[in-house]
Amino acid sequence: MTDKNKIRKLTDPVLILEKLEISQGFAVADFGCGSGYYTLPLAKLVGGQGKVFAIDVLESSLESVKSKTEIEGFLNIETIRANIENAKGSGLKAQSIDLVLMANLLYQAEKRPNIFKEAKRVLKKAGKLAIIEWNPDVKEKPLGPNYKIKFDKETVLKEAESEGLKFEKEIEIDKYRYGLLFCK
């Protein structure tokens, strides 16, 4: 297997999302969706009865998601331009979401506690928060931002739990990233 194929396998969003036990009909919020790397695979997993809310602060990212949505023919994706670092920043109804996904987001955020508060607010009673972040222990390339701006698991655990989210389990992703699953 070439290095390029190894990286592709490591970064396959479907392989990662399968570990989150997402069901048909779920309502999912993709906080900081970017260009839709996880959004489209999420839309496939939740099916026609489900809904994916792709949320980002950048209009250019949402335009990319909209374009891909049209090309692929998805009808279950809604894009929302919002700042999830603000109180009620997602614009979603309280207790309306089965799963909030935060992938490669926290290292970019200035007000992380507010993001955790917003995730908790929108999650249904038995809702889950999935966090996928870059592992700061891996300092070599080829993937991810500079290790100096990454957050270790312990910091993320402490911040999520301080906002009332309960740690459920760690999800193995790859050596470059870690996954944590919380419940409301």
Average pLDDT, the chain: 88
Question: Six-digit token pair at 9?
Answer: 């396998």
**What are the per-10-residue average pLDDT scores of the chain (184 residues)?**
48 85 96 95 96 97 96 96 95 98 86 94 97 79 57 88 95 87 96
Q: Can you give the pLDDT at residue 108?
A: 80
Q: Can you give the pLDDT at residue 11?
A: 66
* Residue 111: CB atoms within 10 Å: 15
- Please check whether residue 133 is in contact with residue 151, taking contact to mean a CB–CB distance below 8 angstroms: yes
Domains of the chain, earliest start first: 3-183 (3.40.50.150)
38, 116, 159 from 66: Cα distances, Å: 13, 26, 32
Q: Can you give the pLDDT at residue 4?
A: 46
Q: Can you give the pLDDT at residue 147?
A: 52
92, 97, 107, 122, 125 from 27: Cα distances, Å: 11, 5, 25, 11, 13
Terminal CA-to-CA distance of the chain, rounded, Å?
Answer: 41
